[in-house]
Structure 1
Amino acid sequence: MPTVSIPPSFTPGSLYIAGFTQARSPHIGIIIPKDIHAGDLVHIRIDRATSPTWQYQHRVQKIDSDMFLSSLLKIHDTSSESSGQTQISLVQLQDAASTVTVPNNDHFGECGPWVFKVVQELHTRGLIALTDIGALEEEFNTLADGSRAFARRDKFPNVAVSQFCA
């Protein structure tokens, strides 16, 4: 397998909004990378074989060489000890996510609003510093829309650092 280039803004242990390229619009989740290869993803999804509505899910998500994971927007940086930022644990992320109601429908596009409600909950708990949720959504959508070319096994996801979260 070819070696992919890892952007310097990617740091394991930090918190990211993850965009997965799909036919209509990106699927969205929140991920804490363990390393360049995998991380813990929380998101909602529909699996029509088990449920006709959205369901919360935690899973280990492949990061490098995944052909659908195309964008990562860093919303909490733990890259340097001098930043004063502490790592958000999977338990803290799951606890915050569990307080956000999962939509009881099968409407396309519910994952985005759910993720941004989780981000707001993380802010309410003092785990991240959010300055503008609307601007964050727009920032993520612009990144995800421009990341289609990264939906390849030989490319690392497009990584950016949010201007509206820390």
Structure 2
Amino acid sequence: MSTAPPEFTIGSLYIAGFAQARAPHVGLIIPTSGKTGCLVHIRIDRATSDKWAYQCRPQPIEGDMFLSSLLKIHDISAGPITLDQLRTAATAVPPPDNDEFGECEAWMAKVVEQLHATNLIACTDVTGLVDEFHAFATGNRAYARRDKFPNVAVSQFCV
């Protein structure tokens, strides 16, 4: 297993990208250790509605074969964001009322806007951030392996 790079810090906030067929699945994660974190995201709920549903769950970081990208948008050194604060911001943004592919990225951007509006993060350009993440995550398919740590970078749009 490869080790975490220096850009990875426990307690910081990241946009997480998961490898899938068409485009990366997207969520937000706060690592609670080098091996796991708390992920907030939306997913299609086939069991009950066939529509997007909010989910908050533990997420493996090290050894996960789908998690390929972590883009840091808030470093813990600037002050912690608690899991409760992340969940509050995420639940303030309703999931889309459809089952169209790709809605997770737009939902994540709205959560980032919510985090910025409540002064939990400082983001200078959400559209630029989304474009930056998309370009970064698209090139990380080779990191979607159990023996590789996800590729980690720091956003130029969040301080």
1:138 and 1:55 map into 2 onto residues whose CA distance is 24
Structure 1: 5+ residue stretches without partners = none
Q: What one-letter code is carried by the residue in structure 2 that aligns with 1:86?
A: G
- Gapped regions of structure 2 (runs ≥ 5): none
Of 108, 121, 129, the match for 1:115: 108
> How many angstroms does 1:4 deviate by?
1.6
Residue 54 of structure 1 corresponds to 52
Percent identity (aligned): 62
CA RMSD of aligned residues (A): 0.8
How far apart, in 2, do the equivalents of 1:47 and 1:69 lie?
20
- Give me the whole-angstrom Cα distance separating, in 2, the residues matched to 1:109 and 1:73: 18
- Cα distance in 2 for partners of 1:47, 1:113 equals 18
Give 3-state SS (helix, strand or coil) of 2:51's partner.
coil
Match of 2:28 among 19, 27, 30: 30
* Structure 1 runs (4+) greater than 6 angstroms displaced: none
Say how many residue pairs are matched.
159
Instruction: Name the residue aligned to 1:164.
Output: 157
Do structure 1's residue 142 and structure 2's residue 140 form an aligned pair?
no
For residues 25-57 of structure 1, what are the alpha-carbon distances to aligned partners after superposition, in whole Å with 9 as ceiling and x for unaligned?
000000000011000000000131232100000
Q: Calculate the TM-score normalised by the size of structure 1.
A: 0.94
Q: Which residue of 2 aligns with 1:8?
A: 6
Provide the C-alpha distance between the structure 2 equivalents of 1:112 and 1:4, rounded to a whole number of angstroms.
28
d(CA) in 2 for partners of 1:89, 1:6? 22
| TM-score under structure 2 length normalisation | 0.98
- CA–CA distance in 2 between the matches of 1:97 and 1:162? 20
**Equivalent residue number for residue 129 of structure 1:** 122
Q: Which position in structure 2 is the counterpart of 1:105?
A: 98
- 1:75-100 Cα shifts (integer Å, max 9, x gaps): 0011x4xxxx1110010011111111
> How big is the shift at 1:162?
0.4
Q: Which amino acid aligns with 2:30?
A: I
